[in-house]
Amino acid sequence: MKAKLVSLMMVVCMTAALLAGCGDGGSKDNANTPSTDENNGEQQNSGDNGSTNNKASGSSDGEKITLKLFHNWINVEEAPYFEDIAAEFESTHENVDIVIENVGDPDYRSKLSVMLGTDDAPDIFFSWSGESAYKFVRAGLVQDLTQYYEEDIAWKDNFVQAALPPFEYEDGIYGVPVRIDCKMMIYNKALFEEYNIEIPTTYEEFLQVCETFKKAGIIPLALGNLEPWASCHYISTFNGMCVPEDVRRMDNDYKTGTFTDPGYVQALQMLQDLNSKGYFTPNTNAMDFDMARNDVFIGKAAMTYMQSIEFKRCQENNMEAGVFKIPFPEGAAGNENLVTGSPDGFMISSKCEHPELAMEFLKLMTSKPWQERMITQLSSPASVQDVHNAENSNDVTLQAVEVYKQADGFVNWLDSDIHSEIADVYVPGLQEVIDGSKTPEDLMGEVQGIAARVQSEE
């Protein structure tokens, strides 16, 4: 049965029958669904990349089942991925009907929060990791998926292992990572060659590279910070460098966070210095993000801090790009072997009546053929191992994959990893620190105050 993509208005007007919970997937032993690799025609198991198993029907009594899927991929070239995977799942589960709704950012977050509190909750929904996911766990809105990982160790081991902890909360695992998005420094190779510049291996060398380009009249670091999530990615990296990992984890938990470690001030000072030294795009706080980033493509800027899901933009703009991780400052107290970014994935609503069936779908999505399609169709780095190659990924993506495969873990985006009320003070305050109207000490004092208030109110 062809998967149906419904509009937001149609979802609101659905009948009660359509909004029934997801259906019975039968026993877990024979639940996995075979997927066909479009390139070689071989069957792949949805739980791992080796064994095969029987076709599942979804329910032993033939009851019609509706499975609701909610995500935030809205581009016309991306939507068919979800329609096609739903169609494949329906073809092996004859009585299952998958209804898909998608809403773009930033409306997705608010719409999802409303839906999860009503009878219109999706059975499977996209979620960022970290605090963005943990708030649903604390509210009892999602299923604990630990048993599925424990029952299928081969499937669990097939993930990039650093992608699992960001969906862990206390003793449970509450999400399935489907892609990895990390932040790396992209540089214009032509400019580096023209000025005979080597990739920096220390933070001091990184600053020297910036100074060289500044003196040459080239913007060292393209940054449009009109919306401060852009500088938030820098401070996420610098916090990971300057703050001990155990302290940062404690602070990211609103129940224990104090943000008093001096590393937070050090990180903000590093951010402020990049602007005061003239290394960021001029008037960065008034500059649109995309406009600033385009300066790299046309040779007006040398580098930009870019998410891996956007690496394709370099090729689209005919720029030969290189990639490196911002070097670790000497003597910093954080963990040198972390990568800024996070896995994104899907969670299963606590209102889903048959989570076994929902898990079958997520295992299909994390099978090798569908992860390969995610790379090519959604330009999203995969969450499972050994699917990236020279045929489906560009050079910068392959380099980034090697970096995060060897990493100890991820430093999540700050605004996704701390309580929303703290983020509402911390993130906008980065603009004031950058332009010098607020000191790092003053901003962290405000953050400490709101953190204490959140603790007392929760």
Output the average pLDDT for the chain: 88
* Total-model pTM: 0.82
Q: Is residue 178 over pLDDT 50? A: yes
Q: Is residue 223 over pLDDT 60? A: yes
Residue 425: exposure state from Cβ atoms within 10 A (0-12, 13-18, ≥19): middle
Give the separation between CA 270 and CA 234, rounded to whole angstroms: 9
Task: At 287, list the tokens.
Answer: 């500059």
Q: φ, ψ for residue 29 (rounded to 5)? A: -60, -35
> DSSP assignment of 154-177, as one string?
HHHHTB-GGGSGGGEETTEE--EE
pLDDT band, residue 347 (cuts 50/70/90): very high
Cα separations in angstroms, 78 against 36, 260, 373: 20, 43, 10
- Number of Cβ within 10 Å of residue 149's Cβ equals 18
pLDDT value at residue 73 = 92
Percent of residues, the chain, with pLDDT higher than 90 = 79
H-run or E-run covering 89:
helix 79-91
Write out the E strands in 168-240.
168-169, 172-173, 176-188, 219-222
Give the separation between CA 433 and CA 447, rounded to whole angstroms: 13
Label the pairing between strands 176-188 and 301-307: antiparallel
